[in-house]
Structure 1
Amino acid sequence: MPSTLLFNLLQTIYPLEIPNKKRDRPLEVLAVGLSRTGTDSLRQALLELGYQNVYHGFSYGASPNDCIQWIRLGQAQENGDKAFLNAKEFDRILGDCDAVTDIPPAGFAHELLDVFPDAKVIVNYREDVDAWVTSCLNSIEVSSGAGQPWSEYLQSYFEPSLFFRQWSYWYVWARYFGGNFRQNGKDWYLRHYRDLEAKLEGRRHLRWKAEDGWEPLCRFLGKEIPRHPFPSGNAPEEFFKTVEVYKAEWTARSGKNMRLVGAVLASIVAGAVGFVYLRR
């Protein structure tokens, strides 16, 4: 794990501010299921039911400043630093949220359950775990993991937003399965839900999958059932479109910075060659 000194150095090289929100409303709902278990459909449903701000993986992906704080939280979790995993540090990111779903929050489910004991808890899941593995391999792992082209890794070193997003991938996703999703992803899934079941013993919660739709969700939350169909979103093709939208500006800046660095290096090399030639 990078040391605090290294983290501070990287923040100097890639200057982005740590968010500093403060809680301005109760956090009412914790949806603690993993990504690709109907999290975006659930996000849309919660918004339709009147929850005004629902944190989701896309919220994290679109905010490099959030990435910095998730890295800090991930380091604390990895180190067993329970003192740091407190309401103030989570609220730096989630302070204006009525509800949360998806990764990164799901990776900190146990800590969030402790910090927000009054929140209603939804355990969103998929029946077919193998289908879940395939879905992740065809989406998250392609956009952020082992399936990325090498050029994207290179680009991340030339733009702060891309850099911290790339680095945060380990702390909010890959470390839970040791960096090898194809081999260990299914075990992580089973462990996540098994541990949640033990953690939630005695605490009221809803086990829910997207196919269950409005009725059990609304009954649990005490909301009126909408008459229109339950939201359906974030299929793999939609996932990539959303990712590309918020990466476009950062990638453009990275390309500009790469060209600038290339021009500077070319000038240095040309100058050195000229100097050697003139000394002959």
Structure 2
Amino acid sequence: MALSVIGAGFGRTGTHTLNLALEMLGFGPCHHMEDVNSNPEHRDLIRAAGRGEPVAWDVVYAGYKSAVDWPTAYFWRELAEYFPDAKLILTVRNPEDWYRSARATIFNTMGQTSDPQSFGRAVIETKIFSGRLDDETHAIEVLEAHNAEVISAFPPSRLLVYQVAEGWPNLCAFLGVPIPAEPFPHSNTTTEFRSRFAK
């Protein structure tokens, strides 16, 4: 099974909601950062990729039709090349709102992780944000540079720049599927995130 949809948006830009929406539209299972944390073998492959070691992406994403959030958002260019028929979705959000949410959830969780080889510590904290998770200006600059790079890399026929607040219409039109009767999902508030990771 090859990936049909690649999510290039950073965590806390609506990726969990997009995960649910893609699965409702028939693009499941959808890979999310939580899958890395719950599968030791998969986690080791992602860590190897994060170190720059060659990996077989069809093995890493075996059994998934779509993927969002990190680590996918870090490997977006490699994945787009490896799965040339996949479409990309860049979830975007107000940068200041994104930073407040990320700092209260993802960044806070990484700060509690003692394993320096975890993907969060080794790649998200160190490689993506240069160890400056508490520097809002820097983090937002990194986010905006990432978004601009993704947007410049693909034509609109292959990339959808998307806010989950838009709901179904643009997403379904881009993916070529009908709008479902079910309401659009909304999930993973800061409170929900903390509740899941506290378990």
Q: 2:108 aligns with which of 142, 154, 158?
A: 142
One-letter code aligned to 2:107: E
Equivalent positions of 1:176-191 (< 5 A) are 176-183=128-135, 184-191=138-145
Shift of 1:63: 2.1
Shift of 1:75: 1.0
Greater share of residues in helix? 1
**Which residue does 1:167 correspond to in 2?**
118
Which ranges of 4 or more aligned residues in structure 1 deviate by more than 4 Å? none
Pair 1:129-2:65 in alignment: no
Q: Percent identity?
A: 29
- C-alpha distance in structure 2 between counterparts of 1:65 and 1:38, whole Å: 27
Shift in CA distance, 218/75, structure 1 to aligned 2, threshold 3 Å: same
**Which residue does 1:33 correspond to in 2?**
9
How many residues align structurally? 196
Pair 1:225-2:175 in alignment: no
Contact 1:30/1:119 (8 A) holds in 2: yes
SS of 2:142 mapped into structure 1: helix
Contact 1:68/1:168 (8 A) holds in 2: no
CA shift digits 1:49-100 (9 cap, x unpaired): 1123100111112223322211111111xxxx6xx25xx2x22320111000
CA shift digits 1:138-159 (9 cap, x unpaired): 00111112xx3xxx63xxxxxx
- C-alpha distance in structure 2 between counterparts of 1:67 and 1:179, whole Å: 21
Contact 1:70/1:172 (8 A) holds in 2: no
Equivalent positions of 1:44-123 (< 5 A) are 44-76=20-52, 84=54, 88=56, 90-123=57-90
One-letter code aligned to 1:240: R
One-letter code aligned to 1:71: R
Shift of 1:114: 1.0
Contact 2:2/2:58 (8 A) holds in 1: no
TM-score, L = length of structure 1: 0.66
TM-score, L = length of structure 2: 0.91
Please, what is the CA RMSD of the aligned residues? 1.8
- Structure 1 segments unaligned to the other structure (5+ residues): 1-24, 154-162, 246-280
One-letter code aligned to 2:180: P
One-letter code aligned to 1:179: G
- C-alpha distance in structure 2 between counterparts of 1:124 and 1:103, whole Å: 12
Q: 1:235 aligns with which of 182, 189, 194?
A: 189
Shift in CA distance, 180/33, structure 1 to aligned 2, threshold 3 Å: same
CA shift digits 1:96-154 (9 cap, x unpaired): 1100000111011111111111101111111x101101110000111112xx3xxx63x
One-letter code aligned to 1:169: G
- Structure 2 segments unaligned to the other structure (5+ residues): none
One-letter code aligned to 1:182: D
Shift in CA distance, 203/230, structure 1 to aligned 2, threshold 3 Å: closer
- C-alpha distance in structure 2 between counterparts of 1:205 and 1:167, whole Å: 30
Please identify the structure whose Cα radius of gyration is greater: 1
